[in-house]
Amino acid sequence: MKKKKLKTILIDLDGVLNNYNGKFDENFIPEIREGAEKFIKELYEHYIIKIFTTRNKILTVKWLMKYHLDKYIKDVTSIKEPAWLHIDDRCINFCGNYNEVTEKVANFSTWYN
Ligand SMILES: [Mg+2]
């Protein structure tokens, strides 16, 4: 019997699964990032995966289908649903220390910029 997955991971699209460079075009989602399929496939073995994006849902689903990732994804949402983890290129992990976080905010940059 296959073990039931209990934990959900919300994964951002732009800058995580694709080659987003910071120039947003609402009608075009950049091509898949190298290694993204393997990454998703491995996480899928243990977690429920949802795509967390503000992009148009239909466009996003088409993109997932284009790269054969749809079979690993339970849903596409722009709502912060209950999840065990978020994977995002634009976030700061809250460490419990506001001063530290304030400094991280001031010095933040994405990995691609
Ligand atoms: Mg992003």
Give the start-to-end residue ranges of the domains of the chain. Answer: 8-27+34-90
No. of H helices and E strands in the chain? Answer: 3, 4
Strand, coil or helix: 40: helix
Residues 89, 14 contacting (CB under 8 angstroms)? yes
For the sheet with 85-87, list strands across it: 75-77, 48-52, 8-11, 85-87
The count of other CB atoms within 10 Å of the CB of residue 58 is: 9
What's the 3 CA to ligand 1 centre distance in angstroms? 31
pLDDT at 29 over 90: yes
Instruction: For residue 79, give Cα distances in angstroms to 17, 18, 101.
Output: 18, 20, 24
Q: How many other CB atoms are found less than 10 A from the CB of residue 89?
A: 16
* C-alpha 1 to ligand 1 mean position (Å): 36
pLDDT at position 5: 85
How high is the pLDDT of residue 53? Answer: 98
**Which residues, chain by chain, have CB under 5 Å from ion ligand 1?**
12, 14-15, 89
Residue-wise pLDDT tens digits, 38-85: 999 999 999 999 999 999 999 999 999 999 999 999 999 999 999 999
Ligand 1 center from residue 109 Cα (angstroms): 12
> How many A from CA of 82 to the centre of ligand 1?
19
Q: Average pLDDT, stretch 87-93?
A: 97
Rounded distance from Cα 22 to ligand 1 centre (Å): 9
Q: Distance, CA 111 to ligand 1 centroid (Å)?
A: 11
pTM (2 d.p.):
0.93
Query: Residue 3 — very low, low, confident or very high, per pLDDT cuts 50/70/90?
Result: confident
CATH level 2 (architecture), domain 8-27+34-90: 3-Layer(aba) Sandwich (3.40)
Specify the amino acid at residue 28. Answer: F
